[in-house]
Amino acid sequence: MTTRGIRRKRCDVKIAVVGAPGVGKSALTVRFLTKRYIGEYDHNTENKYKHESLLDGEPVHFEILDTCPKDEHELPNANELLQWADGILLVYSITDRQSFNYIRKARTDLTTETPVFLVANKVDMVHLRQVSTDEGEILAKDLECRFTEVSAAEHVIQVAEIFYDLCKEILASKRKSKQSLLERMLGSSRPYNRGKSDSALQKD
Ligand SMILES: Nc1nc2c(ncn2[C@@H]2O[C@H](COP(=O)(O)OP(=O)(O)OP(=O)(O)O)[C@@H](O)[C@H]2O)c(=O)[nH]1
């Protein structure tokens, strides 16, 4: 049987982009959405974008929340964020030690089952580096998440891959929770079949 003519169900994926001011959250988001790099963005508003894409031939509807802390002391509201987001992109800049510390502080509240991807941006400015690759890798290990260094200014494919990889992880995690819910429901319906062995149930 072929799948031609069968309409595939669209997957919805919500991603929140989190990080200190000026690390390139908007630049990364806009790079993914438009493949373009625009030097300056509105720093005063939180933006939510909607985007349709195909991932391994499957239609995906992205909602991306580009968060906007007013300064490096304003940490994200973890409860609100985790209620809304299916996955979180944690961004710091390799040229800004404070932005790395911001992620270390923010992650305490964001440690959950929610898939996370740690991104070190502005790798094109390696001459101004304040955070080493090793430090990023250690933090990612601690967070049990994927990690990459990237430049929103120079990389197109690598930036898209970050969003797609996080999306894949989100979809896998959603399938896993659906599966365990199903198993729990089937498990709880077992008493109604009392008296029949498993093999007898399979034959029915
Ligand atoms: N060299 C370089 N500059 C970048 C890169 N990404 C962003 N920038 C610049 O860094 C500045 C801040 O980028 P934004 O994308 O506005 O950062 P943001 O995290 O959204 O900032 P807020 O909205 O204030 O939270 C801008 O001047 C960008 O042009 C990058 O990869 N390389």
Any atom of ligand 1 within 6 Å of the Cβ of 31: no
Q: Which of 27-31, 78-82, 94-98, 139-143 has the lowest mean pLDDT?
A: 78-82
Residue 105 has pLDDT above 50, yes or no: yes
Domains of the chain listed by start with CATH number: 3-190 (3.40.50.300)
| CA atoms of 200 and 204, how far apart (whole Å) | 7
pLDDT of 172 higher than 80: yes
Question: How far apart are alpha carbons 96 and 23 in whole angstroms?
Answer: 8
| 101 CA to centre of own chain | 20
**pLDDT computed for residue 108 by the predictor:** 76
* Å from CA of 22 to ligand 1 middle: 5
Instruction: Tell me how far apart the alpha carbons of residues 43 and 26 are, in angstroms, rounded to a whole number.
Output: 9
ipTM of this predicted complex?
0.99
Residue 80 has, within 13 A of its CA and on its CB side, a CA count of 6
Q: Is 37 near ligand 1, meaning CB less than 6 Å away?
A: no
**Mean pLDDT, all residues of the chain:** 87
pLDDT value, residue 180: 77
User: What letter does residue 14 receive in the DSSP assignment?
Assistant: E
Nearest CA residue ID for atom 9, ligand 1: 24
Global confidence as pTM: 0.86
The helix/strand/coil state of 8 is coil
Average pLDDT over residues 85-114: 91
Q: What is the pLDDT of residues 135-161, one digit of tens each?
A: 999 999 999 999 999 999 999 999 999
CB of 15 closer than 8 Å to CB of 49: no
Instruction: Note the pLDDT of residue 44.
Output: 73
pLDDT band at 2 (very low <50, low <70, confident <90, very high): very low
pLDDT at 1 over 50: no
User: For ligand 1, is residue 152 a contact (CB within 6 Å)?
Assistant: yes
> Ligand 1 within 6 A of 76 CB?
no
What average pLDDT does the segment 72-94 reach? 93
Concatenated DSSP letters for 135-181? HHHHHHHHHT-EEEE--TTT-SHHHHHHHHHHHHHHHHHHHHHHHHH
> 83 burial class (0-12, 13-18, 19+ CB within 10 angstroms)?
exposed
Query: What is the mean pLDDT of the segment spanning 171-185?
Result: 84
User: In the prediction, which pLDDT does 46 show?
Assistant: 83
Strand residue runs (E) in the chain: 11-18, 47-55, 58-66, 87-93, 116-121, 146-149
What average pLDDT does this structure show over 123-138?
98
How many angstroms is it from 87 CA to the middle of ligand 1? 21
Q: Which of 85-99, 131-145, 175-189 has the lowest mean pLDDT?
A: 175-189
Query: What confidence score (pLDDT) does residue 187 get?
Result: 77
pLDDT digits (tens, 9 = 90+) for 34-53: 999 987 777 778 899 999 99
pLDDT at position 190: 57
For position 191, what pLDDT does the model report?
Answer: 57
